[in-house]
Structure 1
Amino acid sequence: MTQLPIDEIMPELAMKLRSHAGAVLVAAPGAGKTTRVPLALREELWLAGRRILMLEPRRLAARAAARYMAAALGEAVGETVGYRVKSDARVGPRTQIEVITEGVLTRMLQTDPGLDGVGLIIFDEFHERSLHADLGLALSLQVQSLFREDLRILVMSATLDAAPVAALMGGAPVIVSEGRAFPVETRYMPKPVEGRLEPNVVSLILRALAEETGDVLVFLPGAGEIHRVESLLRESGLPSGMAVRPLHGSLPQEVQDAAIQPEPTGLRKVVLATSIAETSLTVQGVRVVIDSGLMRVPRFSPRTGMTRLETIAVSRASADQRRGRAGRLEPGVCYRMWTQQEDSGLAAHHAPEIREADLTSLALELAAWGVDDPAELSWLDAPPSSALEHAWELLQQLGALDRDRRITAHGRELAAMGLHPRLGHMIRKAQERGRADLACELAVLLGERDILRGATRDADLRLRIEMLRSVAANGEARVTDYPEVQVDVAACRRIWAEARLLKQTWDTGAAQREGEQSDLGGIGALLADAFPDRIGQRRGSGKYLLRNGRGAVFAADQPLAYASYVVAAELDDQGTDSRIMLAARIEESELEEACADQFVEESAVWWDKSSRSVRARRRTRLGALVIKETATGEADPQQVTEALLNGIAEEGLEMLPWTRHARQLQERMMFMRGLDDSWPDVSDEALGRTLEDWLAPHVYGCKNATDLSRLSLASVLEQMLSWEQRRELDEYAPTHIVVPSGSRVPIDYGNPESPVLAVRLQELFGWKETPRIGRGRVPLTLHLLSPAQRPVQVTKDLASFWKQTYFEVKKDLKGRYPKHYWPDDPLQAIPTNRTRPRSQ
């Protein structure tokens, strides 16, 4: 057997595991940790004949690792080394090492919390921080802590920050293997890539094939980009003796195997892969990597309750992993589709999935485990509370949790199924209606990439079920209404097989029972079981209001966009109205049957903004959807008043009949509050918050804006004052003040901290001091005006103005207004509101 770098540290690792309950192994890509560590540890005495479980993030990697180890022992898979992945298992009575996907460990723990017969759990490629890996480690640590002290846990990774994991595991030892990697030359783009991704990738592939020898591994964000690049490559005229191999998780196993196995002698290959090829797998023959710099990750929004796939830039760790693929077997080259300057801006790592994923399955697993509070477990990153709240709410809606968030019998059934709780619930409900076949087809279909390809954006799931069944029956499918659309026949066959297996596994008695229906009616009703929060009601122009209160819209004109009700199974969560990607029609009668126990009958009284009045109706409501509505007679006056106040709060105080007198009164009261905070707060903000306290008694019996217009707002505000406060208001915050000319000039309280008296300068002759209000504590701010009513000076110190500034102002005003009276001594002059005093 070829010597690998990991072999050098195996004695140290074995020694640490003999004396510790766990360890963390950091080994560079190519060190051989995935295939050598389980084989080296299987004879350890502390195992005492028990099995080793090794978790891999992906099915392809799990199968490949099991095959490689079995071949190293000269055996077939299923003997000493086996694997368990979703819908596929190869294990036997002599199996010592089981390579499993992460979700399988959760099922095993829920079935047998003691993990009888298991001595070691290995978490491989833990740096990917998948949701299942984080949950699996948290549960395993609790099992180890409570009743399996002899259980060993080993966490392995190539790019992991080991210290936090070691601390989580109670100070576990950290072992590092430097690995062995051949040098890889990194080539960057001279300038940022412009235009569509796929043509740029194809150009770079052709350049690499001309410049370098060996096979080429191309990293692309998703299956769609892989399909388009593959088509463009074939159209471009590849050199002879060249094979193009796609590699992503939704391909059949034999196609995935063809991508990672060596080509027949003399052939070169181009492997078009997603991030599935970043770790664990060695794609034979590769010495050239082309990295698009993009990856696709699921992002959950607690605000909308939806998960969308988002294309993001790779992290530094992912980029280095990808580059390392070129140096596994010999010196290689990595072409990066970004500039060296852009490279410096890459994030070190991506956020763990637990921070951004839909936590519905995790919340159900925790409830099945008996955990009420996630803090009872040890996490590297605790589940976000907002996403958990949404998950608990959905699980209660599905009947998986009770009001106290304890798991129900139905919830335990769903947890055992290993499906997303939405889909498990749909299948269980379908069994009651004799629709298990259709539900299983929908469940698998929704978990896969869309089987329809082409220009159409028709979102109808019925169309896809028709194509699925057509392929199963006839081996082919044609979409007659959309000749430009292609059907992924291979995907249809795989989905059909998985749907049959799913039905055999979870439908009581796999044979079709009496009453089982084979028609396509009721797709919408089944989806309503899975997505009760995404039932949508049409509101015109292809737009829908969802039961959860969010908006949704069809991307293009299509028959489904005219249905009165739909159920949206997939939305993109973009913008104000999410785009509906997959949906089905549901009739109102089906809705009433499917959600019979969820309808709410209510008498609704609300403010109607369009008519600016209170409306009263009797409603049948499903969440945010009003299914039926009829007018009622006289509504409860108290409810009318509450609705009216809600309308005022919604539209703002401006809808009240504010007069100049009312506004001045409000400002005067705020002035007095500034002097004495025992006065009521009548600012707009405070009034808006306390409508029930000050306004409600005065609008009793009002139903609309017209009724409100007859309200005397000044009288309403005055009633907030005591008799003593009204007296003080008139005395200390007068509405007007009489100036020396005899004019009665209004005071502007717009700024309660600095009331303003705007008056012509000539009317103040003889007035020596600035007038004061507010118990003599607040000098008025004087806006001294010209004869044309334009401000010429602003002051709070009239005496100083007469002494220092008046003569400068007089000179200017006398030039502009020569007919007016401008005395040399303003304190002895006669004040006037005319051009000149009458005596002149």
Structure 2
Amino acid sequence: MTSLPIHALLQPLRDTFMCCQQVILEAPTGAGKSTALPLAMLDWPEIDGKILMLEPRRVAARNVAQFIAKQRGCELGTEVGYRVKGDTRVSTNTRLEIVTEGVLTRMIQQDPELTGIDMVIFDEIHERHLTTDLGLALALEIQASFREDLKILAMSATLSGLPLSELMPEARLLKSEGRSFPVEHSYSSVPNQSHWLEHMAKVIVTSVSEHTQGSLLAFLPGQGEINKLHGMLSARLDPNRYIICPLYGSLSPKAQDLAIAPAPRGVNKVVLATNVAESSLTIDGITQVIDSGYKRQARFNPKTGVTRLSLKRISQASAAQRAGRAGRLMAGFCTRLWSQEEHGRLIKADEPEIVHSDLLSMVLDGAYWGVKSLNELPMLTEPSVANEEVSWRLLQTMAMVNESRLITQHGREAHKLGCNPRLAHMLLMAKQKAEDNQDQNLALLACILAGILEARSRSRLGADISRYLSEALQGESQKQIRNWVNTLALSSLGKVDLAQAARNASSHDIAMLLAFAYPDRIAKARGVTGYQLANGCGVELVNDDALSGSPWLVVADFQETEGRSQGKVYLAAQLDCALFDSELAELVITQEYAGWDEVKGRFFAEKQQKIGEILLSKAPINKVDKRLIKQALLEQIRLKGLALMNFNDACHQLQRRAALAKQYCPEHGWPALDDDTLLSELDDWLAPYLDEVRTLTQLQQLDCYTLLLNLLPWDLQQQLEALLPRKWPMATGSSVKIEYDATGRALLSVRLQEALGMQQSPRLAQGKLVVTMELLSPAHRPLALTADLESFWQGPYEHVKKEMKGRYPRHLWPDDPANTQPTKFTKKKTFSSQ
């Protein structure tokens, strides 16, 4: 440990913290930043309180804590401990605590002063997990307001593309050398991508036979691929010589320890891992890495409210991290299952989770902290606007925040439960009903359902969630379920018997509870296996699933897949639509609706009852009022676009001029007039003019150009005409129209003879936009296109003159066009007028 490169920085780091409370440390793989550094800090007398170190992954947190405790010669949970979701090993004597999975965020929320804590270390911050980004933001807020003495150390294997210095401008930057041995890289691209796993198995078998020293680490995208590859290799590798160890997040701690531990004497290890082994974690004896080059990326779709898992190529930074695992102990080998040429096309670094993930839990954390937007916090990267907006709306639907985005008491109670806000809402609603009825079974059933939905793995028993009730009462899930039972104080309602609650669970109660958590995923049958969700998207069951044919479902878990129009249902419950008249009546919306009947060619109006986008019932309204017709007109425009109105070329020209003005002269504060903005703001600029419009014909008679022009104040109208005029005055007295096209080009089409004497092409927008000249023949046919008139006169003009002079002999074709008087007439008329 004392020979690790980080030891050269221990004294500089101590000296820096004497005068500065923020330090950014760049330390590549093998430097010892995750182990030797916190170990040494335990002996620094200036650190009186506790050291918290945030690790992005559970397996790494446990492994690092165990390693440091062993080096320290103490029992895990005494001086050195860890705290991860569902597993805690700490005591009152713990001075170094490794935490993960949002634990730090919860600690800060419960004690904003972080009492007794002297230092917070953020390890592997380059991985950019949501919990890490939020934890750092809250720690910086605390330091700036409550705890100026709090020390913050942000550590990363690389600072490339990481805006830490911008977020922490007062921080001191220190750099450590890494410690790694040379790694020999080779590339073995997959002949057939549909059989890449088979190719990987062959490469592994070849590699372990050629390189007999040390163990092998293979990187795969997920648990499913690991299990398949495990089966392939078990049939090909001698079990007396090789031990095959899977490694992924949902494995039991015992199985994870087996993958990390040294291989038995005389046996080589083959570890099949997800990206949990990419950083922080040192797996004993690894000298070979086989990299599939894939990861499974979760991307939230704000339109459907679900996260799509897809197979993606890793980044170059990730590939470098993976390869580095082979050089931790000695010179190693890395085989990449793609070509060297393809490697150069990989993206440089991975996107941070905050730009593509579901932000629901993060937004509830923000509301609990007291912000109305995540951007009010010092974030490394701005969150996705669409994803954050969806999260705030859902929290409001579940009454966790009010219309002003202030957290409610219900929201505070939900936050304390420490689970997904959807499940927290279900648990609290179930507890309320249990208290009202003095029957705890409904609340116990909610805890069991939450345990199923939070489980990191489960068997395959079909989509019916009721089949998993008994399974949830075992292992890690049971532990979590009992935690909720205790937190909700359900024992006050009687003896807790989870097994009996599972046995007596009715489909009525299961569906009602899931609808509390997933009101947007109530689903109505559409065909045999297809369903429409309340949020508008489509899902489907496997053909032979037991739930197939059910008229109504509540879908608790489904996944969208690239290339498929409908998501696949993994967990659901059959729902009795009678619930819409009782316990779920609050979800039913009654509204008056007017639309356009394409077949009959007229408007219609009806009274509808809906669950989200699902129509339950409708009845005609005979007398249609102005308001409904206006709604129908606006809906038709949103559906079919602005072309449904008299949105002519003059309107398009105005849009393009306004866009160019915003681009070249933004200081004037131009409003956006693009189609998307106009469609999203129809209620503001168009609706007031529809009071007397009854038909599509009347709609098409509106003067759209004037309506658009009026969106610009009078002074901006004048500025627009000065900066980007509709016409250009020629020296001949002609006023020629300027066409602004969709590419941002300003085009002036004029007969060549009228452009004579012009030294340069005109310039617009304070000289920032050069007009493209389309020079025409006397018959108004295009001769040349140029944005550099001076060059045209000096060169290409000669060729044009030779061709055109014989064809149009009565018109002027001078030898010195740049210095010739322009004309609109023939030579005879021009000279006679002179």
State the match for 2:247 in structure 1.
Answer: 247
Counting only pairs closer than 5 Å after superposition, residues 188-207 of structure 1 correspond to structure 2 as: 188-189=187-188, 194-207=193-206
Q: Please tell me the residue identity of whatever aligns with 2:146.
A: F
Distance apart, 1:223 and its partner CA: 0.3
Q: Which amino acid aligns with 1:398?
A: M
Q: Against the structure 1 CA distance between its residues 638 and 310, is the aligned structure 2 distance closer, same or farther, given a 3 Å change threshold?
A: same
Contact 2:185/2:336 (CA < 8 Å) preserved in 1? yes
| 2:580–2:587 contact (8 Å) kept in structure 1 | no
Contact 2:190 2:199 in 1 (8 A): no
Would you say the 8 A contact 1:181–1:328 is kept in 2? yes
Distance 1:13 1:691 in 2: 63
CA-to-aligned-CA distance 1:208-265 (integer Å, 9 cap, x gap): 1111122111110000000111111123353533211111001111011111011221
Aligned residue identity for 1:415: H
In structure 2, do the counterparts of structure 1 residues 445 and 692 end up closer, same or farther at CA, with 3 Å as the change threshold?
Answer: closer
- Structure 1 contact 82–98 (Cα < 8 Å) conserved: yes
Give yes or no for contact 1:26–1:162 (8 Å, CA) kept in 2: no
**Distance in 2, Cα, partners of 1:190 & 1:167:** 40
Instruction: Say if 2:14 is the partner of 1:7.
Output: no
Q: Distance in 2 between matches of 1:622 and 1:435?
A: 24
Shift of 1:173: 1.3
Q: Is the 8 A contact 1:182 1:332 kept in 2?
A: yes
CA distance in structure 2 between the partners assigned to 1:359 and 1:339 by the alignment: 36
Give the superposition deviation at 1:25: 1.2
Separation of aligned partners in 2, 1:219 and 1:464: 31
Q: For residue 608 of structure 2, what is the aligned residue in structure 1?
A: 619
Contact 1:619 1:626 (C-alpha < 8 Å) held by counterparts:
yes
Mark the CA change 1:614 to 1:117 in structure 2 (over 3 Å): closer, same or farther.
same
Aligned residue for 1:465? Answer: 469
Matches within 5 A, 1:420-459: 420-433=420-433, 434-453=441-460, 458-459=462-463
More deviation, 4-13/622-631:
622-631
Report whether the alignment pairs 1:281 with 2:281: yes
Question: In the aligned structure 2, how far is the partner of 1:385 from the partner of 1:598?
Answer: 26
Say if 2:376 is the partner of 1:389: no
Distance 1:652 1:385 in 2: 24
CA displacement 1:679-708 (0-9 Å, x = unmatched): xxxxxxx9xx999899986858xxxxxxx9
Secondary structure (helix, strand or coil) at the match of 2:46 reads helix
Identity, in percent, stands at 38
Matched AA of 2:552: Y
Shift of 1:140: 0.5
Partner of 1:352: 352
2:588 corresponds in structure 1 to 599
More displaced 10-residue stretch of structure 1: 208-217 or 557-566: 557-566
Q: Which amino acid aligns with 1:392?
A: W
Call closer, same or farther: CA 1:94–1:607 in 2, change over 3 Å. same
In the superposition, relative to structure 1, how do residues 616 and 209 fare at CA in structure 2: closer, same or farther (>3 Å)?
same
8 A Cα contact 2:604 2:624, kept in partner: no
Give the C-alpha shift of residue 425 in structure 1. Answer: 1.2
CA contact (8 A) 1:192 1:338 kept: no
1:427, distance to aligned residue in structure 2 (A)? 1.5
Amino acid at match of 2:452: L
Task: Name which of structure 1's ranges 51-60 and 430-439 shifts more when overlaid on structure 2.
Answer: 430-439
Q: Which of 579, 586, 590 matches 2:575?
A: 586
Letter in 1 for 2:447: C
Q: Alpha-carbon deviations, 1:813-838, whole Å to 9, x = none? A: xxxxxxxxxxxxxxxxxxxxxxxxxx
| Mapped partners of 1:532, 1:201: distance in 2 | 43
- 1:321 Cα offset (Å): 1.1
Could you say which structure has the larger radius of gyration? 1
Assess if the C-alpha contact under 8 Å between 1:528 and 1:594 holds in 2. Answer: no
Residue in 1 that maps onto 2:150: 151
TM-score normalised over the length of structure 1: 0.73
Paired residues for 1:359-758 under 5 Å:
359-433=359-433, 434-453=441-460, 458-465=462-469, 468=471, 493-509=475-491, 512=495, 517-518=501-502, 519-521=504-506, 522-574=509-561, 575-632=564-621, 634-638=622-626, 641-642=629-630, 645=633
Distance 1:21-1:564 versus aligned 2 partners, 3 A rule: same
- What is the rounded CA distance, in whole Å, between the counterparts of 1:514 and 1:713 in structure 2? 66
Matches of 1:299 and 1:169, distance apart in 2: 28
User: Which runs of structure 2 are paired with 1:179-218 in the superposition (5 Å)?
Assistant: 179-189=178-188, 194-213=193-212, 214-218=214-218
Tell me the amino acid that sits aligned with residue 563 of structure 1: S
- Correspondence list, 1:65-80, <5 A: 65-80=64-79
Residue 59 of structure 2 corresponds to which residue in structure 1?
Answer: 60
Q: Give the match for residue 130 of structure 1.
A: 129
Instruction: Tell me the secondary structure at the aligned position of residue 619 of structure 1.
Output: strand
Give the conservation status (yes or no) of the 8 Å contact 1:193–1:337. Answer: no
Match of 1:165 in 2: 164
- Could you say if the C-alpha distance between residues 628 and 3 of structure 1 is closer, same or farther in structure 2, counting changes exceeding 3 Å? same
Distance 1:291 1:142, change over 3 A: same
Cα 1:536–1:268 change in 2 (3 A) is same
1:108 to partner: Cα distance: 0.6
- How far did residue 203 of structure 1 move? 0.7
Shift of 1:617: 3.0
* Aligned residue in 1 for 2:310: 310
Q: CA RMSD in A?
A: 3.9
1:647, 1:303 → 2: CA distance? 18
Cα deviation 1:509-547 (Å, max 9, x = unaligned): 386459984423222211111111111222334332222
CA contact (8 A) 1:102 1:136 kept: no
Are 1:23 and 1:166, in contact at CA under 8 Å, matched by a contact in 2?
no
Relative to 1, partners in 2 of residues 1:694 and 1:134: Cα closer, same or farther, differing over 3 Å? closer
Which is worse superposed, 239-248 or 354-363?
239-248
Q: 2-side partners of 1:316 and 1:267: how far apart?
A: 32
Q: Is residue 236 of structure 2 the alignment partner of residue 231 of structure 1?
A: no
Contact 1:400 1:407 in 2 (8 A): yes
* Matched ranges for 1:332-343 at <5 A: 332-343=332-343
- The 1:197–1:428 alpha-carbon spacing in structure 2 relative to 1, beyond 3 Å, is farther
The answer as to whether partners of 2:594 and 2:632 remain within 8 angstroms in 1 is no
Q: Does structure 2 retain, via aligned residues, the 8 Å contact 1:126–1:160?
A: no
CA distance in 2, matches of 1:362, 1:227: 32
| Structure 2 Cα separation of the partners of residues 9 and 712 of structure 1 | 77
Cα distance in 2 for partners of 1:717, 1:301 equals 37
The alpha carbon displacement at 1:152 in A equals 0.2
Residue 133 of structure 1: how far off its partner (Å)? 0.6
Q: Does 1:331 align with 2:326?
A: no
Report how far residue 57 of structure 1 moved: 0.7
Query: Take 1:398 and 1:38, find their aligned partners in 2: how far apart are those partners?
Result: 42
Kindly report which structure 2 residues correspond to 1:766-777, keeping only aligned pairs within 5 A, or say none. Answer: none
Deviations, residues 538-579 of structure 1 (Å, cap 9, x unaligned): 233433222222233334353423222212222323454333
| Secondary structure of the corresponding residue to residue 195 of structure 1 | helix
Cα pair 2:515 2:522 within 8 Å, conserved? yes
Report the Cα distance in structure 2 between the residues aligned to 1:221 and 1:204, rounded to whole angstroms.
17
Deviations 1:403-432 (A, max 9, x none): 111000111111122211111111212223
| Distance of 1:514 and 1:337 partners within structure 2 | 52
Distance 1:319 1:655 in 2: 51
Aligned length, in residue pairs: 674
Structure 1: gaps spanning 5 or more residues: 473-491, 657-662, 671-685, 701-707, 719-751, 754-780, 783-800, 805-840
- 2:49 aligned partner, one-letter code: R
Moved more, 602-611 or 152-161: 602-611
Question: What CA distance in whole angstroms lies between the structure 1 residues aligned with 2:81 and 2:246?
Answer: 26
Q: Secondary structure at the match of 1:46?
A: coil
Q: Deviations over 1:649-702 (max 9, x none)?
A: 56799999xxxxxx9xx99x99xxxxxxxxxxxxxxx9xx999899986858xx
